[in-house]
Amino acid sequence: MARPEPTKLTPMMAQYHALKAEASKDGDDHLLFYRMGDFFELFFDDARKAAAVLDIALTSRGEKDGEPIPMCGVPVHSAEGYLARLIRAGCRVAIAEQTETPAEAKARAKAEGTPVSKALVARDIVRFVTAGTLTEDALLESRRANVLAAVCEVRGTFGLAACDISTGRMELEECEESAVDAALARLGASEIVAPDDMRAASPEHIARPKSDFSSDAGEDRLKAIHGVHTLDGFGQFTRPMLAAAAGLIAYLDHAGRGKLPLLLPPVSRSSAAHLAMDAATRASLEVLEAQSGGRAGSLVHAIDRCVTGAGARQLAEDLSAPLRDRPAIEARLTLVAWLRGDPLLRGDLRGMLRSLPDIGRALGRVVAARGSPRDLGQIRDGLSEARRICDVLATKPDRPALLETLMPQMTGHGALTDRLSRALIATPPTLRDTGGFIAEGYDAALDELREMSGNSRRAIAAMEARYRTETGVDRLKIKHNGVLGYFIEVPAKHGDALMAPDSGFTHRQTMAGAVRFNSVALHEEAARIAEAGSHALAAEEAHFEELCGMVSEARIAIAATADAMARIDVAAGQAERAAEGEWCKPDLLDDAPCLEISGGRHPVVEAALAEGGDRFVVNDCQLGPDDRLWLVGGPNMGGKSTFLRQNALIVLLAQAGGFVPAASATIGIVDRLFSRVGASDNLARGRSTFMVEMVETAAILSQATEQSFVILDEVGRGTSTYDGLALAWAVAEAVHETNRCRCLFATHYHELARLAETCPALSLHHVRAREWKGDLVLLHELAKGPADRSYGLAVARLAGVPDPVVNRAKSVLAKLEKGRAETGGLAAGLGDLPLFAIAAEAEQEECDILRERLDTLDIDALSPRDALEILYELKREAAATDN
């Protein structure tokens, strides 16, 4: 069968393919949103992919090489919702807009001498929409920052640049290669760009040309953006920092097609100023996201009492990068304590904050030329509310130093807010195309145009009444639509009367049940309305641009106000949480390796238990120079992991500047926090569960210092008993002798208790449990000393393991313990223990167990009731064994 002849592309499809090629250069893979009237259309593979993600109909338009061209589309007015779903699915989108009207296209075609009927509206890509370059409310989470990061290497040192373009915040950092992953984990970036030749690049990084990452270009771009001759006023920036900034700005330039978003002056970030946590520790402690995915179940979810999105984002940043500078921590704590001590002020303050718009993100949209009248209204209302809050705070005595620093940032916008208040209506619309957002009385000429338009509409109503009288057609109406403009419409049976040459009406259109006409008077009045309306829209657009310019000029001061309000919201929210849970203000010490916590609780577990009406069991932790390593034993499910995590979280909360869930807490400031609790495999990177455990343990042993705090759980569990015990022993010794850090070390290896004989700063502890009538009771209390025995079989029974399996495990355990006692070997005695014992041997084992139980009974001390209970219990066990 002959193949069909290749189909010649129509001008529109040729234009589409040219734009698609532009969207795909440099290896980028973007879906192309191709504007056609009121829809964004997608074609070919883009259409197939988008239709699947969006669950919309896949149709076709035209043919190529004899095959229908797949097509799907979304309405322009609701495109943001579809874009949000595509971005969440990992897609990137190029927006191709019409850059001229159909009338302009026809005029251009006529000037070029081409057929007007074939005039094609010009289109161009105006923006690339990616996960890290979002500013629209519909595409963002209000309580989560949206960070774009860039990373590069300069002579062996790495530079990082990060910004949230929705608010303009930008920071630069320098670090060694070993610290890059931890820095990126702290940022939680939506997108990370890197040079295409960087050896340490991850497959998830977006590769960009190496030439984009020039430190000289980065310095020049930052100077140009902020209108300065030197960056010294913003901080000290190294070559790697500036190279990363260059790559980030180049990517933003590419995404915005030459229009940069809001970028505030960069801040130089020093890793020494913050508590360091690697990615494994953040995941283990579930700081911002639970291991099951999502915010619920995380630390931030359990403590967030902020009433604004900006405050919630600031809280998340505080938890991601706790401080190491004691005065800075104390400043935050003092503000929290002040607000906790005044519940009336705190309530009033939170009430005012609750109505505060997100002025930071509104500012971001305005500066990025994506703003709306509503954004200007939010900035007006937010700045006015900030001033009101400042006035309330100014009446309070003994204000903390941090508040005194924040209050001047909340004022100074009087001229701008006055201008916005006079210019805008009370509730400006989101769209500006239809006008109506400039307040009456602000512009006399605009008011006159509106009056003229209103008078013309009243004139048309009077004209309609006059025409009804003159023609005698009671159902005559003057209507308007987007195609014909204004026209006169009468029922079809009256059409002939108006067709007469001397009627004064001109026929325009005949419908099935109506006939449409025009008149000279109507045409003139419609022209006046259109002219007045277009002039009014133009006037409002000019005012909008002027107001946006004023806001952009004040962007740094407005952003400072937004930051100040977010910080106050965080402090008020922390105070509210502290009051709810009776949390305490921690005492921080410099260079003192102590961790003294009385009545500590796990904030997430306690909240979960409270929902079910249960009480959390508190525990103390007392680590110091002479008692810095605790070896914690006890049964699974007894609370070891919870105890370890709660102390790590208390350290994190304290150094983030918040109160902690404890009766009291004294903490020597921690430089690095490590958590190796539980493990999961990473098969995509070729790592088993045990390999992941060892990689995390290696990071702790190589990086922990005497000022660090480490929690370790079940080191060596993922391998053979001998290897595991040996590794756990060696790791505990290294932590004690070499790292000399504060450490909580949970283990099931009872043999490790002997370390207390040779490690003077190691002490033994266990989580308490007891058996009662054959059942295991977990007390979740910590006690001093080693665990008296293992409760593994009791936990197995508690978990629902069938009794025959538990009984068989008891037999195996008895053989193991007997062999170990006789030969000293952990596995001795198993050689003659077949998997399936013969019935006689099984019966003998049961008899041995029964004899052992009877030998332990003091019959003379038993009451008749106790003796009867024992008989009933033996009978139940015999029945279970028979089954």
3-state secondary structure of 505: coil
pLDDT of 835 reads 38
Q: Is 782 found in the same domain as 683?
A: yes
Distance separating alpha carbons of residues 544 and 851, to the nearest angstrom: 94
pLDDT greater at residue 835 or residue 735: 735
Q: Is 739 found in the same domain as 712?
A: yes
pLDDT of 26 reads 64
DSSP 3-state helix, strand, coil percentages of the chain (rounded to 5)? 50, 20, 30
* Measured CA angle at 745 (ends 743, 749), to 5 deg: 155
The H or E element containing residue 33 is: strand 31-36
pLDDT class for 305, splitting at 50, 70, 90? very high
Distance separating alpha carbons of residues 37 and 52, to the nearest angstrom: 23
Q: Is 874 found in the same domain as 786?
A: no
Would the pLDDT of 699 be above 70? yes
Q: Is 88 found in the same domain as 20?
A: yes
pLDDT of 778 reads 64
pLDDT class for 823, splitting at 50, 70, 90? low
3-state secondary structure of 433: coil
Residue 90: give its domain's CATH number. 3.40.1170.10
Q: Cα 141 vs. chain centroid, distance in angstroms?
A: 7
Burial 567-576 (b: 16+ CB within 10 A, else e): bbbbbbbbbb
Residue 406 lies inside a defined structural domain of this protein: yes
Task: Give the mean model confidence (pLDDT) for residues 419-440.
Answer: 94
Q: Which pair of tokens denotes residue 880?
A: 């279970």
Distance separating alpha carbons of residues 285 and 649, to the nearest angstrom: 7
Distance separating alpha carbons of residues 161 and 252, to the nearest angstrom: 12
Distance separating alpha carbons of residues 323 and 755, to the nearest angstrom: 34
Would the pLDDT of 685 be above 90? no
Q: Are 32 and 19 in contact (CB under 8 A)?
A: yes
Residue 487 lies inside a defined structural domain of this protein: yes
Residue 604 lies inside a defined structural domain of this protein: yes
pLDDT of 667 reads 98
Query: Considering the chain, what percentage of its residues have pLDDT values greater than 90?
Result: 63
Task: Give the mean model confidence (pLDDT) for residues 17-34.
Answer: 87
pLDDT of 799 reads 67
The residue to which tokens 């005695």 are assigned: 829
Q: Is 616 found in the same domain as 530?
A: no
pLDDT of 6 reads 53
pLDDT of 574 reads 98
Would the pLDDT of 833 be above 50? no
pLDDT of 864 reads 78
Task: Give the mean model confidence (pLDDT) for residues 120-144.
Answer: 92
Query: Which of 69, 102, 129 is where one domain is finished?
Result: 129
Would the pLDDT of 785 be above 70? yes
Distance separating alpha carbons of residues 517 and 467, to the nearest angstrom: 12
Q: What is the pLDDT of residues 91-106, one digit of tens each?
A: 999 999 999 888 888 8
pLDDT class for 164, splitting at 50, 70, 90? very high
Q: What is the pLDDT of residues 182-236, one digit of tens each?
A: 899 999 999 999 999 887 667 778 999 999 999 999 999 999 999 999 999 999 9
Phi, psi torsion values for 128, nearest 5 degrees? -105, 125
Distance separating alpha carbons of residues 194 and 205, to the nearest angstrom: 6
Q: Per mean pLDDT, which range of 382-386, 575-579, 764-768, 866-870 is the poorest?
A: 866-870
Residue 429 lies inside a defined structural domain of this protein: no
Closest of 318, 427, 309 to residue 358, by C-alpha: 309
Residue 799 lies inside a defined structural domain of this protein: no
| CB atoms closer than 10 angstroms to residue 154 | 18
What is the DSSP code string of 547-575?
HHHHHHHTHHHHHHHHHHHHHHHHHHHHH
Q: Per mean pLDDT, which range of 319-323, 332-336, 472-476, 858-862 is the poorest?
A: 858-862
Q: Is 360 found in the same domain as 347?
A: yes
pLDDT greater at residue 566 or residue 38: 566
The H or E element containing residue 157 is: strand 157-164
Residue 675: give its domain's CATH number. 3.40.50.300
pLDDT greater at residue 879 or residue 341: 341
pLDDT class for 682, splitting at 50, 70, 90? very low
What 8-state DSSP symbol labels residue 140? Answer: S
pLDDT of 869 reads 78
pLDDT class for 786, splitting at 50, 70, 90? confident
Q: What is the average pLDDT value for the chain, to the nearest integer?
A: 88
pLDDT greater at residue 603 or residue 817: 603
| CB atoms closer than 10 angstroms to residue 224 | 10
Q: What is the pLDDT of residues 706-759, one digit of tens each?
A: 999 999 988 877 666 778 888 888 999 999 999 999 999 998 888 888 899 999
Q: Is 528 found in the same domain as 590?
A: no
Sequence-ordered list of residues with C-beta below 8 angstroms from that of 331, at least 6 positions apart, any chain = 400, 401, 402, 657
pLDDT of 687 reads 55
pLDDT of 214 reads 96
Which range scores top for mean pLDDT: 88-92, 131-135, 405-409, 531-535?
Answer: 405-409
pLDDT class for 700, splitting at 50, 70, 90? very high
pLDDT of 843 reads 56
Strand partners, 354: none
Distance separating alpha carbons of residues 497 and 492, to the nearest angstrom: 10
Burial 235-259 (b: 16+ CB within 10 A, else e): eebbbbbbbbbbbbbbbbebbbeee
Would the pLDDT of 31 be above 90? yes
Q: Per mean pLDDT, which range of 39-43, 346-350, 450-454 is the poorest?
A: 450-454
Q: Cα 78 vs. chain centroid, distance in angstroms?
A: 24
Residue 424 lies inside a defined structural domain of this protein: no
Q: Per mean pLDDT, which range of 357-366, 371-380, 859-868 is the poorest?
A: 859-868
Q: Is 396 found in the same domain as 325?
A: yes
pLDDT of 1 reads 43
The residue to which tokens 């070499």 are assigned: 738
Q: Is 589 found in the same domain as 575?
A: no
Residue 75 lies inside a defined structural domain of this protein: yes
Q: Is 159 found in the same domain as 70?
A: no
Sequence-ordered list of residues with C-beta below 8 angstroms from that of 149, at least 6 positions apart, any chain = 132, 160, 161, 162, 184, 187, 189, 191, 192, 193, 248
Would the pLDDT of 825 be above 60? no
Task: Give the mean model confidence (pLDDT) for residues 796-822.
Answer: 71
Residue 189: give its domain's CATH number. 3.30.420.110
Q: Determine the structural domain holding residue 846 and report its residue range.
A: 837-883
Query: Considering the chain, what percentage of its residues have pLDDT values greater than 70?
Result: 89
Strand partners, 123: 98
Sequence-ordered list of residues with C-beta below 8 angstroms from that of 478, at least 6 positions apart, any chain = 460, 461, 463, 464, 467, 486, 487, 488, 489, 522
Query: Which of 777, 794, 811 is where one domain is finished?
Result: 794
Strand partners, 507: 517
Residue 334: give its domain's CATH number. 1.10.1420.10
3-state secondary structure 613-682: CCCCCCEEEEEECCECEEEEECCCCCCHHHHHHHHHHHHHHHHCCCCECCCEEEEECCCEEEEECCCCCE
Distance separating alpha carbons of residues 731 and 716, to the nearest angstrom: 9
Distance separating alpha carbons of residues 764 and 753, to the nearest angstrom: 7
pLDDT class for 681, splitting at 50, 70, 90? very low
Would the pLDDT of 630 be above 60? yes
pLDDT class for 806, splitting at 50, 70, 90? confident
Would the pLDDT of 849 be above 70? no
Distance separating alpha carbons of residues 376 and 355, to the nearest angstrom: 16
Task: Give the mean model confidence (pLDDT) for residues 37-64.
Answer: 93
Q: Is 356 found in the same domain as 320?
A: yes
Q: Is 365 found in the same domain as 259?
A: no
Number of structural domains the chain divides into: 6
Would the pLDDT of 881 be above 60? no
Would the pLDDT of 122 be above 80? yes
Residue 18 lies inside a defined structural domain of this protein: yes
pLDDT of 159 reads 96
What 8-state DSSP symbol labels residue 323? Answer: B
What is the DSSP code string of 244-312?
HHHHHHHHHHHHTTT-----PPPEEEPGGGB-EE-HHHHHHHTSSS-TTSSSTTSHHHHH---SSHHHH
pLDDT of 686 reads 47
Would the pLDDT of 121 be above 80? yes
Would the pLDDT of 392 be above 90? yes
pLDDT class for 831, splitting at 50, 70, 90? very low
